[in-house]
Amino acid sequence: MFTMNIIEYYYDEDHRRLSVEFSTDEDGDTFYRVLQLGYDEVKYYSPEIIDEVDLEDIDENFIIELIEQYLKENDLPEEKTL
């Protein structure tokens, strides 16, 4: 796998969506990526059993593990210029 830099993440309780902005070591300082997952997708890709209340206390390590699980079945999100 590759190194990830988590720029920002936020769980929107009203819309039940997790939004993560991150970059990879191959992106350098030029690009970043945005991953948006609905609650059911977060549950599916989560490395541990999780419910919506737990999403209030997630940390960067959880986000990295979640992205790693996501990438086992999906490609990286499209690059965006900084």
Where b means 16+ CB within 10 Å and e means fewer, 24-58 reads beebeeeebbebebebeebeebbeeeeeeeebeeb
pLDDT in tens, the chain (82 residues): 678 999 999 999 999 999 999 999 888 888 999 999 999 999 999 989 999 999 989 999 999 999 999 999 999 999 999 7
Report how far Cα 81 is from the mean position of its chain's Cα atoms: 18
Q: pTM of the predicted model, to two decimals?
A: 0.90
Kindly list the domain boundaries of the chain, sorted by start residue: 4-81
